[in-house]
């Protein structure tokens, strides 16, 4: 069983929902990457989505774009991101790590080498934002023998046919994008999300998480009643942006802990 499935299974037994923070590797600095991940876990994160910086993050709003720019200014590469995961694994063998990014840096490294290095580093899942199913299948064929999950996005505009196709390919969990728009937008409609998640869960074989636009404890709490996991991204990146470099891990840890408490309040 993959580390991701094991995590969700344990959470299900405890009747808890997964809290999944996202941040961009190398923001605010490569040096703080592992400490930030550790602070996230200490604050109550169950799984970490680690963004691979890219010069043209077409699906991201201004907040995560700036995070990518800050990381790229320091020359952070995909190879550096993988090294950071290796370092994280020296102190934490339980928390799953999912890499999230765009196709080009992965293609530049080469899919085969990327898959190999993910396995060596201890990566548990990969989400390539701009891969169509055919390309994702080709990458997935390299990842699954290495016990690495392929995570996919679904959105409010996904058709039934599309949901079926993605559900059949997904391992680990499915990430439902809660709104029309880029990351960081904030026009989330909880009732609508609940309906959509039910639609996905009807065909999904894996847990369904929700993200994009979750900015406060109340939304996280409301959504954790309907989804298996809550992904918080832009709000965390804002916390990093407004903290000093040395304080960033602690600030992020505290923020995550607030989300954690809100999510566990109804248990």
Partner 1 sequence: MKIYDMPDREGHFGPYGGTFVSETLIAAIDELKRQYLRFRDDPEFQEEFAYELKHYVGRPSPIYHARRLSESLGGAQIYLKREDLNHTGAHKINNTVGQAMLARRMGKQRVIAETGAGQHGVATATVAARYGMECVVYMGSEDVRRQAQNVYRMKLLGARVVPVESGSKTLKDALNEAMRDWVTNVQDTFYIIGTVAGPHPYPMMVRDFNAVVGRECLVQMPEMAGRQPDVVLACVGGGSNAMGIFHSYIPHESVRLMGVEAGGEGVASGHHAASLVAGTPGVLHGNRTYLLQDANGQIIETHSISAGLDYPGVGPEHAWLKDTGRAEYVAITDDEALNAFHTLCRMEGIIPALESSHALAQAMKMAPAMKRDQILLVNLSGRGDKDMATVAERSGIRL
Marked catalytic residue, from 27, 46, 60, 149: 60
| Structural element, H or E, at residue 210 | strand 208-211
Q: Which one, 11 or 33, has the nearer CB to partner 1?
A: 33
195 in contact with partner 1 (CB under 8 A): no
Site for partner 1 contains 8 (CB under 8 A):
no
Q: Would residue 60 show up in a list of annotated catalytic residues for this protein?
A: yes
Of 4, 19, 126, 153, the residue at the interface with partner 1 (CB under 8 A) is 153
Q: For the chain, what is the radius of gyration of the CA atoms? A: 17
> Among this protein's residues, is 49 annotated catalytic?
yes
Tokens of 214: 């979750």
Please say which residue, 93 or 132, places its beta carbon nearer to partner 1. Answer: 132
Neighbours of 100 (CB within 10 A): 21
Residues 6+ away with beta carbon under 8 Å from 32: 245, 246, 248, 249
DSSP 146: G
Stretch that binds partner 1, among 142-150, 153-161, 203-211, 233-241 (CB under 8 A): 153-161
Bin 42: left if φ > 0, else alpha if -120 < ψ < 50, else beta. alpha
88 sits near partner 1 (criterion: CB under 8 A): no
Under the binding rule (CB under 8 A), the answer on residue 180 touching partner 1 is yes
73 touches partner 1 by CB under 8 A = no
Structure tokens at 217: 């404890």
Cα distance between residue 83 and residue 258, in whole Å: 30
Binding region for partner 1 (CB under 8 A): 53-59, 61-62, 65, 69, 72, 77-79, 102-109, 129-132, 134-135, 152-155, 157-159, 162, 166, 177, 180-182, 185
Residues with a catalytic annotation lie at 49, 60
């Amino acid at each position: 069983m993959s580390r991701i499935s094991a995590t969700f299974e344990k959470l299900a037994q405890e009747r808890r929902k997964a809290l999944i923070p996202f941040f961009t590797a190398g923001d605010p600095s490569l040096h703080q990457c592992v400490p930030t991940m550790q602070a996230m876990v200490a604050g109550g994160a169950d799984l970490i989505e680690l963004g691979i910086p890219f010069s043209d993050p077409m699906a991201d709003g201004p907040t995560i774009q700036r995070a990518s720019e800050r990381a790229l200014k320091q020359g952070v590469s995909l190879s550096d991101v993988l090294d950071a995961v290796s370092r994280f694994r020296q102190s934490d063998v339980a928390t799953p790590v999912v890499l999230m990014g765009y196709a080009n840096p992965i293609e530049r490294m080469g899919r085969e080498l990327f898959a190999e290095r993910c396995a060596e580093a201890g990566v548990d899942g990969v989400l390539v934002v701009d891969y169509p199913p055919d390309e994702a299948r080709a990458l997935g064929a390299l990842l699954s023998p290495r016990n690495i999950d392929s995570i996919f996005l679904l959105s409010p505009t996904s058709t039934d046919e599309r949901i079926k196709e993605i559900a059949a390919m997904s391992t680990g969990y499915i990430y439902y994008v809660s709104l029309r728009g880029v990351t960081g937008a904030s026009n989330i409609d909880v009732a609508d999300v609940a309906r959509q998640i039910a639609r996905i869960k009807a065909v999904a074989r894996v847990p369904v998480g929700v993200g994009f636009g979750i900015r406060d404890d109340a939304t996280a709490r409301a959504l954790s009643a309907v989804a298996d996991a809550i992904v918080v991204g832009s709000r965390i990146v804002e916390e990093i942006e407004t903290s000093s470099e040395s304080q960033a891990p602690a600030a992020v840890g505290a923020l995550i802990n607030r989300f954690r408490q809100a999510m566990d309040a109804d248990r």
